[in-house]
Structure formats: C-alpha cells, structure tokens
C-alpha cells in the first residue's frame, strides 16, 4: 500500500483499536456470539447480501471487519477475497474463518486503491465501510473498476437523514450549532463518517445500471444495543428504556441509517 494520508490513518487507528462488532463478542474469540447478535439485530443482511447466490462466483468483500459476512461467502462456496484497512480486523477475520475450517484470501488493503486487476470479480460487497474512507467516490470507482462488466455491487452506506443522526445532533450538535451531518461526521464511529441521500447515491453510482436502494433501521436507530460508555448516565438509561420503538418502526422508516444499494456495472 502507498503511504497513507493522515485522515485515513485516523480511521485505521480507530478500527485497529476497536474492530467492528467487538461489543457483541462475549469472549475474545466467541465469534458465534458475534454472529448471533449481528444477524438478530440486522436480519435484512441475508436478504441483501444473498450469500447463496454467490456459489462458484468470484466475490470481493471490501471492509470485512470481524469477518462475519466474509465467512458466509465462504460457507456459500464463493471464491471470496476480502480486504480491510485495519490489520487487527483482518487478523480477527482470519482467526474466525480458520476456526470454522475455511481457507481465506484476506489482505490489509485500502478500498481507495484495491490490489486487484480490472474486471476481476462477479460480485463486490461492502457493508458499512465506504462512508468511513475519506474519498468515498474513489471507493466506488474502485469497486466498479474491479467488477466484471455485468457484475453486481451490493453496498451499504450511511443514509441522511437518520434517527441516529438526530440523536447525535441532540447530544453533540444542538447546543454547539453543528448540523446533523457534522454531528455524525464528528461523533459516529471513526472520525469523518459521511452520510448520503438517495439522490447523492444516484450520482455516486454513475457507470452502474439497475440501481436499487432501500433504507432500513440500524440497531442504533432503535437503540437495540446496550448504551455505550458515552451514554451511561441515569438520563440515558431512561431514554433507552422509554424509547418508543414501535412508533419509530411504524412512522420513521425513511429515517433509517442504513442505505442498502444494489447496482450492476454497465458493460
């Protein structure tokens, strides 16, 4: 990999210190607990990823994190490669897959500069990754470059506006005059996290056809997980308890954080 820009180094440091999903691990290597918690809170992943559709296909997963979905590609008998900027995440993914008895092709690599030739993959999958990288349009161009013509991209990026964004705005933005987007940029996971409207995604996916998008709730939108260290006071515990999940599910659908995108590389 070429020398890394300081902004991206911050992103890498963040995920090396706390590989994605660490909070769902019950023991350091309890990957089953991680998978159970992940798929219980985000059941739409199976419908979106369509792991079984990839049997025999060449798949690239960009940003494997702790490797739950990467393992599903292997179980589905895809020829799956995976990359992540964070060496700690790649190490966890490798450990997880080897424990499950699979061989891996996992590399530390940058989504903005993928180490693969043009037209290499039938399917490129990336779940919750590209908005963390400083140059998200470049990640999309790279995904398109390595896809074969007619190949499919399945990408999740963070959506604007969202309930998570609104909560971060109330917590960090409101009194400091920050916008919803800036509150997410500064306070959601790694520094510099971006969010996109459906119209913006349409522009980002120039060069793709058959674009489909769906907004879904993240676990954070519905406060489904335990409050993190930042939200431990009695006030926040009360918010978690009283949060009107049923109402939000019913009326807040357009305010989900996760934007699920499928698109085909034009020939």
Ligand X SMILES: C[S@@+](CC[C@H](N)C(=O)[O-])C[C@H]1O[C@@H](n2cnc3c(N)ncnc32)[C@H](O)[C@@H]1O
| Residue 208 binds ligand X (CB under 6 A) | no
- Note the maximum CA span of the chain: 56
Name the burial class of residue 247, with classes exposed (0-12), middle (13-18) and buried (19+) by CB atoms within 10 angstroms of its CB.
exposed
Stretch that binds ligand X, among 74-82, 85-93, 166-174, 216-224 (CB under 6 A): 85-93
Stretch that binds ligand X, among 28-36, 105-113, 208-216, 256-264 (CB under 6 A): 105-113
**Distance between CA atoms of residues 231 and 66, nearest Å:** 24
| Residue 110 binds ligand X (CB under 6 A) | yes
| Residue 84 binds ligand X (CB under 6 A) | yes
Which CA distances in Å does 89 have to 13, 29, 170?
11, 13, 31
**DSSP letter, residue 54:** G
Q: Which of 54, 57, 111, 153 binds ligand X (CB under 6 A)?
A: 111
Q: Which of 76, 96, 128, 204 binds ligand X (CB under 6 A)?
A: 128
| Residue 31 binds ligand X (CB under 6 A) | no
| Residue 257 binds ligand X (CB under 6 A) | no
**Distance between CA atoms of residues 99 and 115, nearest Å:** 26
Which residues sit at the interface with ligand X, rule CB under 6 A? 11, 15, 20-21, 63, 65-66, 83-86, 89, 110-112, 127-129, 132-133
């Amino acid at each position: 990999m070429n020398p890394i820009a300081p902004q991206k180094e911050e992103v890498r440091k963040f995920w090396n210190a706390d590989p994605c999903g660490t909070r769902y691990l019950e023991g350091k290597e309890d990957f089953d607990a991680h998978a159970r918690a992940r798929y219980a809170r985000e059941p739409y992943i199976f419908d979106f990823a369509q792991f079984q559709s990839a049997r025999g296909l060449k798949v690239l997963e960009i940003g494997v994190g702790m490797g739950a979905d990467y393992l599903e590609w292997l179980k589905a008998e895809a020829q799956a490669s995976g990359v992540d900027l964070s060496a700690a995440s790649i190490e966890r993914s490798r450990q997880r897959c080897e424990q499950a008895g699979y061989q891996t092709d996992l590399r530390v690599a940058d989504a903005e500069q993928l180490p693969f030739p043009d037209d290499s993959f039938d399917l490129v999958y990336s779940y919750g990754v590209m908005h963390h990288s400083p140059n998200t349009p470049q990640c999309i161009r790279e995904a398109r470059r390595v896809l074969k013509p007619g190949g499919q991209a399945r990408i999740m990026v963070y959506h604007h506006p969202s309930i998570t964004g609104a909560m971060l705005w109330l917590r960090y933005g409101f009194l400091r005059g920050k916008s919803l987007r800036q509150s997410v940029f500064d306070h959601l996971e790694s520094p510099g996290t971006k969010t996109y409207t459906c119209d913006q995604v349409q522009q980002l996916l120039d060069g793709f056809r058959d674009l489909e998008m769906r907004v879904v709730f993240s676990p954070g939108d519905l406060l489904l997980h335990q409050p993190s260290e930042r939200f431990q006071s009695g006030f926040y515990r009360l918010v978690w308890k009283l949060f009107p999940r049923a109402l939000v599910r019913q009326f807040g659908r357009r305010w989900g954080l996760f934007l699920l995108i499928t698109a085909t590389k034009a020939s």
